[in-house]
Amino acid sequence: MPFQLITERLRITEFTSDDALFIKKLVNSEGWLKYIGDRNVLDETGAIIYIEKLRKNYEEQGFGFWKVELLENSSAIGMCGIIHRDGLEHADIGFAMLPEFEGKGYARESSLAVKDYALNQLKMKELLAITELNNNRSINLLNRIGLIYDKNIMLNKEELMLFKLNRE
């Protein structure tokens, strides 16, 4: 059975090559480019290559960034998930929504489901998150889902805020 999390309004599933046009739109949205960075996904082929990288995480780590879609009509609205990045001791949670779906609680709803999955199904002892220093919406969301600011760190030559959630 393929990976799937269901919440009140959302379905969280693995990306497939069929999601290429959605990925191209998401990773080129204003918020993504401002807070996450340019992934150089310029066309459908670039999006498929990006999805292949996401799928590699599923195979190698058993988790990754997943597609977030509305239950009511299966429309893809964003991504949420966990990955283990080079330079971080533990896996971290991340999320991004298309601009038209921001501010509706979808990032919080999907992040809570992913956090619960990481702690209860994957039995992670600690969950991290990183965000840009001025990304107030993400900072607020991380606090709301239970992650606590720990310190500023340098990752890939960029100063970021590190948040932690300890299971104990």
Within-domain flag for 104: yes
- For 99, other C-beta atoms within 10 Å of its C-beta total 12
Q: What residues pair up with 165 in beta bridges, in sequence order? A: 127
**Segment 75-87, tens digit of pLDDT:** 999 999 999 999 9
Within-domain flag for 135: no
Q: How many domains does the chain have?
A: 1
pLDDT higher than 80, residue 167: no
Domain membership of residue 94 as a residue range: 4-123
CATH of the domain at 117: 3.40.630.30
CA distance linking residue 112 with residue 72, whole number of Å: 19
Within-domain flag for 142: no
**Segment 86-110, tens digit of pLDDT:** 999 999 999 999 999 999 999 999 9
Amino acid at 122: L
Within-domain flag for 165: no
Within-domain flag for 155: no
Within-domain flag for 56: yes
* pLDDT of amino acid 2: 79
CA distance linking residue 64 with residue 60, whole number of Å: 9
Within-domain flag for 156: no
CB of 87 closer than 8 Å to CB of 64: no
User: Which of the four pLDDT bands, split at 50, 70 and 90, describes residue 1?
Assistant: low
Within-domain flag for 140: no
